[in-house]
Amino acid sequence: MNIIETNLSFGSMSVRSKTTRIILHHAAAKSCGAATIHQWHLNNGWSGIGYHFVVRKNGTIERGRPEKYVGAHAEGSNSDSIGICFEGDFMTEKMTDTQKNAGKELVAYLKKKYSISKVQKHSDVCSTDCPGKNFPFSEIANVSASASTSSSSSSSSSSSNSDKLTVDGWWGPKTTRRLQQIFGTTVDGVVSNQFSCYKAQNPGLDSGWEWESNPSGYSPLIKAIQKKVGATQDGHIGPKTIKAIQKWLGCTQDGCFSGPSPCIKKLQQWCNNQAA
Ligand SMILES: [Zn+2]
């Protein structure tokens, strides 16, 4: 499964302290993506798109509000839930298999990631038609967590400390989680507050990265890694930090993590050699 990063800019949000359920919605609009919904929700005076994911009709999964923040999608039920919106109006439309399968894949992934099984319709918690009478709720909601396929680009199982990383050269949530365990920072699989200008140069930095044009914070994990490799400790990954990591690992120092990157492979091997 591949989550498309959308790099939207948000107002202030609070971090969600627990995740116990998934709530499903439809957009009630025939054609819209995360960026369009983001604009609608900004126009409501909200901090930005209230859903964490948007499943498009073509099967693309787009990131909405960063996963760790409290959403704005189901009044009274936001503090412990992840909100997924499906493009379309399922009061009148029928969902295609392509979109349904993408939704099932995302729900399986989230069930596995958070070790949860509860999935609800928006109408289960609020007085609303959402997600529409034609929405294939049980098919999507009842997917098993074990159906989650760990593709190289976005595997995300809640790995125990002893789990070995797949050495695939992509730095996604699973590699981040393992590094967070090793470096003793919060284990959430997300590298937050990074400069979006460094993303394009580093295709090996996969999903699970938060890119912002002008981040107000930094990543404690990147800062800890910078300390380890002797780079300036500002908590932002850029060519200098990548060069320092490459030097530390004995790789070619080009300041870029290609995808798949031989140097990220070495980093993953290093992780696998650390004590559990
Ligand atoms: Zn809804």
Residue ranges of domains in the chain, CATH in brackets = 3-147 (3.40.80.10), 173-273 (no CATH)
**Above pLDDT 70, what percent of the chain?**
94
User: CA torsion sign, 230 to 235 to 239 to 240?
Assistant: negative
Could you tell me which residues come within 8 angstroms of residue 275 by beta carbon, excluding any fewer than 6 positions away?
A: none
Strands 21-26 and 81-86: parallel
Cα separation, 233 vs 217, in Å, equals: 13
Q: From ligand 1's centre to the CA of 25, what distance in Å?
A: 4
Element housing 264 (H / E): helix 262-273
pLDDT(255) > 90: yes
Lowest mean pLDDT among 10-19, 113-122, 252-261: 252-261
The pLDDT of residue 161: 45
Q: From ligand 1's centre to the CA of 204, what distance in Å?
A: 35
In 90-155, DSSP assigns E strands to 118-121
| Higher per-residue confidence, 154 vs 175 | 175
Q: From ligand 1's centre to the CA of 72, what distance in Å?
A: 10
Report residue 90: phi and psi, to 5°.
-90, 15
| Higher per-residue confidence, 80 vs 154 | 80
Q: From ligand 1's centre to the CA of 133, what distance in Å?
A: 12
User: CA torsion sign, 55 to 176 to 65 to 125?
Assistant: positive
In whole numbers, what is the pLDDT of the chain averaged over residues?
Answer: 91
Q: From ligand 1's centre to the CA of 229, what distance in Å?
A: 46
Whose tokens are 């948007």? That residue is 54
Minimal CA–CA distance to 5: which of 196, 151, 188, 174? Answer: 196
The pLDDT of residue 276: 61
Q: From ligand 1's centre to the CA of 75, what distance in Å?
A: 10
Q: From ligand 1's centre to the CA of 122, what distance in Å?
A: 5
| Higher per-residue confidence, 206 vs 246 | 246
pLDDT digits (tens, 9 = 90+) for 117-151: 999 999 999 999 999 999 999 999 999 988 886 54
Q: From ligand 1's centre to the CA of 79, what distance in Å?
A: 15
Residue 44 CB-density burial (10 A; 0-12 exposed, 13-18 middle, 19+ buried)? exposed
Q: 17 pLDDT band (50/70/90 cuts)?
A: very high
Q: From ligand 1's centre to the CA of 211, what distance in Å?
A: 27
For residue 131, is the peptide bond before it cis, meaning its omega torsion is within 30 degrees of 0? Answer: yes
